[in-house]
Structure 1
Amino acid sequence: MSGTTTTTRTNPLTLPELLLSLGPFLSLQDLYSSIQVNHLWNTLLVPFLWYSIDDRLFSWPTILNRIHCDEIDNNPNTLQVLFEKYGHHIHHLSLSCLTTLQAASAATTCTQLRSLLVFGLKDRDPPLPNQEPDEANSNLHRHPNQQSSLGPLLSPMFERVFRPSQEVWDNPIKQRQYWRMVQLYWILVHHNNKHLQNLHLEAEVGRLFRMVSKEYLFYSLSLLKNLRSIDTGLVQMDFPVLLDRVLSLNTLRSRLSDPFTKEIAFSKTIPQQPFFHLRLLELRDRLHLQEFYLLLRYLPQLDDIVFAGFMMQAGLLPSPQDIMDNKPSQLQGLHLRQIGKQDDKIIPEVLQWLPYLKRFGIALLYPSIAKALRMHCPDLESFSDSGAAEDGHEQEGGVVVVIPPGVPISSANTLNHLLQHCSKLRTVRARRHTIMGSYAVKHSWACRRIETLCFRLVGVSEDTLVVKRSTTTTSRTSSRAELSSNGSTSSTSEAESGGVASKEAQCRELHRRIKERLRELRCLRAVDLGEEWAEATTMISDD
């Protein structure tokens, strides 16, 4: 008698490996619903729910309100208790509410942050109640122009570190609010000094409370051993000192500019020794040519630099050969936010020193710049403009492009020069630039491996519209000719009909050749040739 064998079927929804694989792909609402299924799902999926917090999203206030009702309805410090309970799961924290910042900094478990971003605290929180300061507390910071204290120090390390800006001098309530906010922020930074990699403080907050002690700033940043990126509008800092203190830094973005002078903060503190760890540098204002070359020399491993543009400097200056030691730069990305009147002369000279350039961005591509890119930058892979409108201003990606009066608009077909000669182009995003349809099909393109192509193709829809209107007029003329006994009218309509047919045939042939040109781009994944081409294609297909 053989023994019987029993098989046990496992419910796939109870497999931890399956749940852990699905967790990163679930939305916040789905994660919140999933953690309420059973204890296993709750244990495995709670870390995904709290992995990234952004209180600007609509989902998070809703979820926090539900948790508040379900778990700790009677606790007045609801948010702080939540951060105390789940703070060790948070790796990315984006804040726009003072209450969220207060809860995160007060929680002792919120010490695993990889990124800390603060946005627009000014407009999100109501002002704190106008409470009288505690006269018994002698450890108060007082501004020399204020009779009332700003509030108690949350830690002795904040003594004589901050002062209010002119914007909040006349509002004691706001002073207390932001005095507390800026201390909570730095307390949270110190709590996460082992893991923090990305640090961001919006310039709006920095303008409300200035940091007086730069030594405190450098000391705090030097404690962040894994810091990779800084995006700051908090203080005009000495960048060489920062690079010397934070050796792990590879991305630096400064949002500050001096309103009383056109000189940037970097211009007076050009480093005197090379720093090999910085990869991306973003500055707000313009650079003199000498400053730009000095940065290339002392930041030899810099991959990308973003700034407003170039400006000329009067007087006798060292030549680029002397500054660069007659060695080309390894820079791979040059991105300019604004347009200058002499860019067509300055930038071609700069490009001679950038033979390894792969990414280039400028709002207006002059013919001289396009020629210099072809000659000096054989590895160019990406070109983009800033999408500036014809009126000179357009917001795109947080950048406002300003085109000053007197700057000529980029001539048509200039972009085609890059497509024709730069064989390694992969990405072209140039909504401002135009190419005539007849010009595009006349010259072959060398960029056969391009993946993204975006520009305005013109001269392809106007002829089609003329054809349609002419065809309608011709039909009416022919009807009248049938009723008329005049033979000359009939012959004239036949001639017009023949001309319309010829134009229509030419237009269709142009469209066919353009589509053949696009089919030659085997790697093309995204294409946008503007409204004119889209309308013309629709009209041709309707016919």
Structure 2
Amino acid sequence: MARPLPWEIIRNVGDYLDPPQLLVCIQLASSWKPPLIPRLWSAICDHSYSWHKVLKQDNTSDTWTEADDQRLRDLFVKYGHHIRELDVSSPYLIAAASSAETCTNLCSLSIRFLDLRRPYNDPSGEEQGGMIPGPLISPVFEEHLQSILPANRGQGQGDLGRQARLLDGWNLVQHIWLLVRQNAGLRQLVLCKNISELAIVPSSFSRASLAVLHDLEELDYSPDHLDLFEILIALPKLRSFSTSLTSGGSDYLLPTPHQLERLDLHKATVGSGTMHNLLENLPGLVSLTIGTFYLDGWMGTELGRLMKSTPSQLKELYFSHISPPLSFEDYWAAMLLIPRLPCLTTLVVDRDSMEIAKAAGKHCRQLRVFRQAYDGLSIHPVDGVQLQPDSVCQMLETCLELEELDAIHHKMEVQSILVRPWVCAQMTVFRCQIVGVNRLAVEEQRVVDSLVASGRLCSRDSLEGEERLAVERLVESREHQQAILGRVGQWTSLKTLCFGHEYRNYRLYQLDEPPYYTVDGVKYLQYDGPIPNTLELSLESGLERLAGLKDLEMFGFEGLDHRIGKAELDWMAVNWPKLKVMRGLHVDTMPYVEYNVRRAELREYFQKLRPDVVHATMETSLGLGLY
């Protein structure tokens, strides 16, 4: 008779099996149960197909029903003590885990969303007659929770059904908080926003429930009423806190040896007083996300002095919804906040932020990432907003470690670029407009094309008048372009290179009388034309100087007055072997837009050369998980 395998070997085998495979092994080999059951039940994620299959077992239904309640509860009673990570969304699983009272060894509890297959709350109208509490499933909720059950319960079938749904929600929020209170050893806790829709949880109860979690390091929770600094005081080991609080909390925080490293207040409007206290009294803060920064006017002079007094060690700053450019918020953030952050390595702004970009180039010499998190559909001025050029140029001149400059709404003028040195050498992402190239006018381009066709372009000494002037402008323009592309070509680590974006004003078709035109009886919308005086990206203008970009994965030239043809596409297909996405020859999806025959021909041609490359426009982005 063969000897059973040692448990150490069985455990090692289990590390390579998914939950359904582990379950099969446990069911088929009784000797494998002791080492594999803890492995199987150590981490549960109910929105994973694997775990859904394990928990359902012989039940083929895709949804959880009340008929599953007892079986699920029995499973958690038997195996709940093995669970260390619980990531659930089903109300039935939450209730089963809570009522089993064996899931008391959790290190991580995540309820990122609630799978409310039945509408637990009904926003159909205002309640009449006030609220009354529902039944409590545990004495710990006595005099704490307030339900959302209406006081004047109707007797109709619809009213009874609605009361049942509300009661389900009332019970669910109790099960969630019971799970929290049963696991004092939690290190990570994620509670979704919509649990506040199920019952009214007083801040005193939330604070008391969280205060017992002495080992908690990560918290993602957005209560209706909870003071930020009370959370920090109650949880001394907290290293990461994310919340949807719309205010930064109290403007004052006493000095504390708190170890908080990451703070996400992505909806908060944070005053300079609160910001000063955060930076002053949380010395370990590495990453901060806020909504909008503003100056506290009633003590602006004093706060200005305080904000500039002591530099902060903050390395990452995210503005999740900074106001439009040229705003007071942008100005005061640049004047007061950015100069205090010399150690900043990552700066992400939701929209174009000219003053902040300038300040970052001046004060944040260690900057590695500057990103515009929101890409609008148009880089033409909308609603009269126009960014001044060259606001990001100084970063290239002063930030030695800059790796990512993702700011497509910002412009760089050729003359400004050529007179400034670029100190950064490890750029991986470059998305900016380069303008002021001084391209030929339409008539001048016709003259040059005629000279090319007749073979006279190289005989400049014999040219006179408008022909000589057109050729001289062409030579100067291409020399500038070659110099610019030569600089970009030195960034051999580039993976993303984009000189343009969706350039047409998408709002035109929303006007009362939009500018239409007709071709062969078909009506089209007159969009803005290509951006003038941009790079032409032809081989003659210096495209070959980008031959060293062997790691390039995305190349974009939307909206440029480019002269890319089949010869340029042949060159790209060979010299950029890792190219995955091209933005500029994609199928146009703008409303009432005329079919571009030339673009379609070039796209089809390149698809034959490189069928692995995707042609698509850049979708609107919110960057780095700000929302």
TM-score, normalization by structure 1? 0.71
Aligned to 2:490: 517
Residue aligning to 1:202: 192
CA apart distance, 1:112: 2.1
Q: Are the aligned partners of 1:470 and 1:500 in contact in 2 as well (CA < 8 Å)?
A: no
- Greater displacement, 532-541 / 202-211: 532-541
* 2-structure distance, mates of 1:287, 1:462: 44
Q: How much does 1:101 deviate?
A: 0.4
Q: Could you tell me which residue of structure 1 aligns to residue 261 of structure 2?
A: 279
Q: How far apart in 1 are the matches of 2:389 and 2:17? A: 47
SS at 2:105 equivalent: coil
- Residue among 324, 333, 347 paired with 2:316: 333
Measure, in 2, the Cα distance between the counterparts of 1:537 and 1:517.
Answer: 24
Q: Which residue of 2 aligns with 1:52?
A: 43
Cα deviations by residue, 1:415-455 (Å, 9 ceiling, x for unpaired): 443233201224444465566789778855322234x4152
- May I ask how many residue pairs the two structures share in their alignment? 476
CA positional deviation for 1:104: 1.2
2:602 match:
none
CA contact (8 A) 1:289 1:310 kept: yes
Which runs of 5 or more structure 1 residues have no equivalent in the other structure? 1-8, 129-142, 258-263, 393-402, 479-493
Deviation at 1:181, TM superposition (A): 0.8
Distance 1:57 1:405, change over 3 A: farther
- Matching of residue 297 in structure 1 with residue 292 in structure 2: no
| Paired residue type of 2:95 | Q
Tell me if 1:345 matches 2:331: yes
Matched, 1:179 2:152: no
Structure 1 residues 182-261: aligned runs within 5 Å:
182-193=173-184, 195-212=185-202, 214-257=203-246
Given that 2:120 and 2:169 are in contact with CA atoms closer than 8 Å, whether structure 1 keeps it comes out as no
Q: For structure 1, which segment, 432-441 or 102-111, has the greater mean C-alpha deviation from structure 2 after superposition?
A: 432-441
Q: Distance in 2 between matches of 1:30 and 1:437?
A: 61
Q: Any conservation in 1 of the 2:362–2:394 contact (CA below 8 Å)?
A: no
Deviation, structure 1 residue 174:
3.1
- Cα displacement string for residues 231-256 of structure 1 (whole angstroms, at most 9, x for unaligned residues): 11233113333222221122222213
Relative to 1, partners in 2 of residues 1:439 and 1:342: Cα closer, same or farther, differing over 3 Å?
same
Matches within 5 A, 1:267-416: 267=250, 270-283=252-265, 284-320=267-303, 323=306, 326-340=309-323, 341-349=327-335, 350-364=337-351, 366-390=353-377, 408-411=385-388, 414-416=391-393
Q: Is the 8 A contact 1:95 1:117 kept in 2?
A: yes
Q: CA deviation at 1:166?
A: 9.5
| Paired residue secondary structure (2:268) | coil
Q: CA deviation at 1:76?
A: 6.3
CA distance in 2: counterparts of 1:313 and 1:438, whole angstroms: 40
Q: 1:388 Cα deviation (Å)?
A: 3.4
User: Deviation at 1:526?
Assistant: 7.3
2:510 aligned residue: none
Map of 1:4 onto structure 2: none
**More moved, 84-93 vs 515-524:** 515-524
Matched, 1:445 2:422: yes
| Residue 84 (structure 2) pairs with residue 94 (structure 1) | no
SS in 2 for 1:335: strand
Counterpart contact for 1:413–1:435, Cα < 8 Å: yes
**Residue 524 of structure 2 corresponds to which residue in structure 1?**
none
In structure 2, the residue matched to 1:424 is 401
CA positional deviation for 1:303: 1.9
Instruction: Give 2:74's aligned residue.
Output: 81
The answer to which of 519-528 and 88-97 deviates more is: 519-528
- Answer yes or no: is the 8 Å Cα contact 1:279–1:304 preserved in 2: yes
1:319-372 CA-partner distances (Å, limit 9, x unpaired): 236545932222222211122212442122222222222221113454543332
Q: In the alignment, which of 40, 48, 54 is matched to residue 63 of structure 1?
A: 54
Q: Higher mean Cα deviation, 275-284 or 36-45?
A: 36-45
Give yes or no for contact 2:349–2:372 (8 Å, CA) kept in 1: yes
Output the amino acid matched with 1:531.
Answer: G
- Inter-partner Cα distance in structure 2 for 1:122 and 1:93: 15
> Greater helix percent: which structure?
1
What SS is found at the alignment partner of 1:286?
strand
Match of 1:138 in 2: none
Deviations 1:443-470 (A, max 9, x none): 55322234x415256679999xx9xx98
Q: Distance in 2 between matches of 1:54 and 1:230?
A: 18
Q: 1:502 to 1:380 in 2, by over 3 A?
A: closer
Distance in 1, Cα, partners of 2:273 & 2:99: 47
**Cα gap change, 1:462/1:353 in structure 2, threshold over 3 Å: closer, same or farther?**
closer
Write the deviation string for residues 469-493 of structure 1: whole angstroms up to 9, x where unpaired: 989x979988xxxxxxxxxxxxxxx
1:532 aligns with 2:557: yes
> Hey, what does 1:6 align to over in structure 2?
none
